Amino acid sequence: MDIEKHIQYWSNSADEDFQVGKENLGNGRIRHGLFFIHLAVEKILKAHFCRNNRDMAPKSHNLTRLAELGKIEINDETLNVLADINAFNLEGRYPDSYAAPPTLEDAMIILDKVEKVFLWLKNQL
């Protein structure tokens, strides 16, 4: 197992998914956009897990749990952003969790907050 390759995979894949999420939001596909934004954050957290634990990332979608397992020191504000975006993982995967997506305006506010966290996490790698 080459941990450095895993870290690179998760990081590169996170960048691609974040871009797809932004493009979806830009095209008015709110639910899909926020799902991919969640996926991007999940992947960058998995890169941290690999780096900090020298092991393969767990098969989890829970962002706050991944941050904890990845031994990332984050403040309460960042934890709240991770907790908020967690809901969009469920809506994208499980139909019984589907709720009306936020308005485009609200989705762009969410994107702004998550993008700051995403870039911070990228810079910590």
The CATH number of the domain covering residues in 3-124 = 1.20.120.330
Torsion of CA 62, 110, 41, 53, to 10 degrees: -70
Torsion of CA 11, 25, 116, 98, to 10 degrees: -90
d(CA 12, CA 62): 20
**Mean pLDDT over all residues of the chain?**
93
Q: What is the pLDDT of residues 51-78, one digit of tens each?
A: 999 999 999 999 999 999 999 999 999 9
Q: What is the pLDDT of residues 81-93, one digit of tens each?
A: 999 999 888 655 5
- Tell me which residue has tokens 């590169």: 12
Domain boundaries, the chain: 3-124
